[in-house]
Amino acid sequence: MQLTINCNGQVLDISKPQVMGILNVTPDSFSDGGHFNSINNALAQAEQMIIDGATIIDIGGESTRPGAKDVAEHDEIERVIPVLKAIKQHFDVVVSIDTSKAKVMREALEHGAGIINDVRALQNENCLATVAQFEVAICLMHMQGLPRSMQNSPHYNNLFDDIILFFEQRILACQKVGIKKEQLIIDPGFGFGKTLEQNYQLLTDMNKFMQLGLPMLAGLSRKSMIGNLLNRDVDERLAGSLTTAILAAQQGAKIIRVHDVKETVDALKVLDKVSLSR
């Protein structure tokens, strides 16, 4: 298994699980409520996450929560790119851009983004061709349906087989345009077109995706699958989120995408100590 990922000129060490801190720059992001909308607030939030141990900052300008509205390309660029530029100016950190739009990807890549994190796995127009021009890491996430309707009635013939087939097809599509397998990261997409039971089946056996031979990313932080199980509001999901982070890391996830960086870094250090002394 590879120990590093090339991120558009930077090298990310994935010999141990890395923490990706979530930086929402949407006005309607469900758990940050748009409080970090100005550049200075975004910078301060990024700085704190870096101090707390995040090695990746994931900037998102399009809300993908269930039922969210589409964001215009121009608006997304205006939200995301100034924050990306400011972070790259101030900090030596890998910046990931959570987007599904080719123009946002291109702008971001030209301004030093190291990871393209696409919940639509580069299926939108021009995305494959755009990222193929850079040696950037790409996170291919699985989603059934689209954010607007994905939670209506998720259905799988076989949950794991269907998702693995999807990854195989997207990996092939990437390779066809010259994207190397070493650039790719896979993510089962917790909460994206999955029932509560399906989400927990994925978490139980996430290690099954290791057969694809690619680094895995897990995004579980504060999600409904935790809130609905525990009957907790979004600001009361830390214990549940940490538990899922550890379960994912134990099964081989190399990037853990979270809101609560400091707590997750601590939890992963304890896991690492146990794993190392086994």
- Catalytic residue set: 223, 257
- Rounded to 5 degrees, what angle do the CA atoms 234, 243, 153 make? 60
Tell me: does residue 240 bind ligand 7PJ (CB under 6 A): no
Q: Which two tokens stand for residue 56?
A: 């990746």
Tell me: does residue 256 bind ligand 7PJ (CB under 6 A): no
Q: Which residue has the tokens 């298994």?
A: 1
- DSSP 8-state symbol, 186: E
Which of 109/119 has CB closer to ligand 7PJ? 119
Alpha-carbon distance values, 276 to 55, 148, 158, 268, 270 (Å) = 21, 43, 35, 12, 10
Cβ-based neighbour number of residue 3 at 10 Å: 12
Q: How many residues bind ligand 7PJ (CB under 6 A)?
A: 14
Beta carbon of residue 277, minimum distance to ligand 7PJ (angstroms, whole number): 31
Phi, psi of 132 (to 5 degrees): -60, -20
Could you say which of 139, 179, 206, 225 contacts ligand 7PJ (CB under 6 A)? 139
- Tell me the β-bridge partners of 118: 140
Q: Specify burial of residue 65 (Cβ count, 10 A radius: 0-12, 13-18, 19+).
A: middle
Beta carbon of residue 130, minimum distance to ligand 7PJ (angstroms, whole number): 18
Which of 139/203 has CB closer to ligand 7PJ? 139
- Measured distance CA(195)–CA(66) in Å, rounded: 12
- Measured distance CA(185)–CA(170) in Å, rounded: 11
Tell me: does residue 117 bind ligand 7PJ (CB under 6 A): yes
Convert residues 13-52 into a mask of x (bound to ligand 7PJ by CB under 6 A) and - (unbound): ----------------------------------------
Residue range at the interface with ligand 7PJ (CB under 6 A); choices 152-160, 193-201, 217-225, 242-250:
217-225
Tell me: does residue 76 bind ligand 7PJ (CB under 6 A): no
Tell me: does residue 94 bind ligand 7PJ (CB under 6 A): no
Beta carbon of residue 225, minimum distance to ligand 7PJ (angstroms, whole number): 10
Could you say which of 5, 119, 136, 159 contacts ligand 7PJ (CB under 6 A)? 119
Q: Which residue has the tokens 């699985």?
A: 142
| SS3 state at 12 | strand
Tell me: does residue 215 bind ligand 7PJ (CB under 6 A): no
Could you say which of 120, 223, 237, 254 contacts ligand 7PJ (CB under 6 A)? 223
| SS3 state at 91 | coil
Contact 117, 139 (CB under 8 A): yes
- Measured distance CA(103)–CA(232) in Å, rounded: 38
Which of 89/93 has CB closer to ligand 7PJ? 93
Q: Which residue has the tokens 């970090």?
A: 36
Which of 222/275 has CB closer to ligand 7PJ? 222
Tell me: does residue 147 bind ligand 7PJ (CB under 6 A): no
Residues that bind ligand 7PJ (CB under 6 A): 64-65, 98, 117, 119, 139, 141, 187, 189-190, 217, 219, 223, 257
